[in-house]
Amino acid sequence: MKRRSLPRGLLAGGLLACGLLAGCAGLGTVTSDVSSFGQWPEGRAPGRYAFERLPSQQARAEQAQALEKAAAGALAKAGFNPVEAGQEPDVLVQLGARLTRMAASPWDDPLWLRGGFSRYHRGPWLGSSWSLGWTYSAPRYETEVALMLRDRASGQPLYETRASNDSSGQPDAATLAAMFEAALTDFPRPAISPRRVSVPMGTDKP
C-alpha cells in the first residue's frame, strides 16, 4: 500500500475540498486509536483556554479557525471554557492534524485475484472465454489529530493527546470533532495508550 501525506500541521486543501469549512455533519460512529501523555496537576480545574497558533498555522488562518472550531466542543466537554475579552487564559491549546491518503494496489493483497477467473462470453475458437478478476480496492485515508495543553504562566506542557482514524473517505468537520472528543475522553487521566475509543458523530454540539 502506497502512502501519500497531504500537508502536515493543518489539514489543508484536502479537508477544505471535502467540506471542513462548510461544517457538514454525518451520521454514524467514529472509532479512533487514542494515545495520551502527561501529568495534569492533581486538583487543578480545567479553567479558561486560548488557542495558540504556530507560524505556519497563522499563515493559514481560515484553516486554523476551522480546526479550532472542530476542537471547541471536545474542550467544552472536558470542562474548559474559552477565554473572554480582557481575561487571561489558564492554558494554551495547540492543535495539529494530518491526512494521509493510502493508495491501494492489487499487489497489497496476497489474494489479489479476488474473483479469480470469470466466464464472460463464448468465443468462436476456444469455446467459453475467461477473464482475470482484477479487483482494485478504493483508497483509504488515515486521519490524525493532536492536542497539546500548556500552562500559560510557565509554558510547561501539561497534557498531550492524539487520535488517529482509518477510513475509506476523507474526513469532514463532524469527523474531526468526534476525533478530538475521543482524544479528550479520558482527560485528565492519560489512561492506557494506545486505546480504541468510539464516539457518535454530532455529540460535540452543546
Q: Is residue 118 in a domain?
A: no
Least confident stretch, 59-68, 183-192, 197-206 = 197-206
Q: What angle do CA 111, 2, 57 make, to 5 degrees?
A: 145
Predicted confidence (pLDDT) at residue 88 exceeds the cutoff of 70: yes
Burial, 57: exposed, middle or buried (Cβ in 10 Å; 0-12, 13-18, 19+)?
buried
| pLDDT tens, position by position, 111-139 | 544 444 444 444 444 444 444 444 556 78
Query: Residue 6: what pLDDT?
Result: 43
Q: Is residue 65 in a domain?
A: yes
Query: Residue 172: what pLDDT?
Result: 92
Q: Is residue 126 in a domain?
A: no
| pLDDT tens, position by position, 7-31 | 444 444 445 444 444 334 445 899 9
Q: Is residue 86 in a domain?
A: yes
Q: Is residue 127 in a domain?
A: no
Q: How far apart are CA 149 and CA 51, in angstroms?
A: 10
| pLDDT tens, position by position, 149-192 | 999 999 999 999 999 999 888 889 999 999 999 999 999 987 88
Query: Residue 113: what pLDDT?
Result: 46
What is the rounded radius of gyration, in angstroms, for the C-alpha atoms of the chain? 22
Residue-range definition of the domain harbouring residue 194: 2-104+139-148+156-200
Q: Is residue 116 in a domain?
A: no
Q: Is residue 36 in a domain?
A: yes
Confidence of residue 106 (pLDDT cuts 50, 70, 90): low
Number of domains in the chain: 1
Query: Residue 168: what pLDDT?
Result: 84
Instruction: Give the CATH number of the domain where residue 47 resides.
Output: 3.30.160
Burial, 10: exposed, middle or buried (Cβ in 10 Å; 0-12, 13-18, 19+)?
buried
Across 134-146, average pLDDT: 78
Query: Residue 170: what pLDDT?
Result: 85
Predicted confidence (pLDDT) at residue 92 exceeds the cutoff of 50: yes
Q: Is residue 21 in a domain?
A: yes
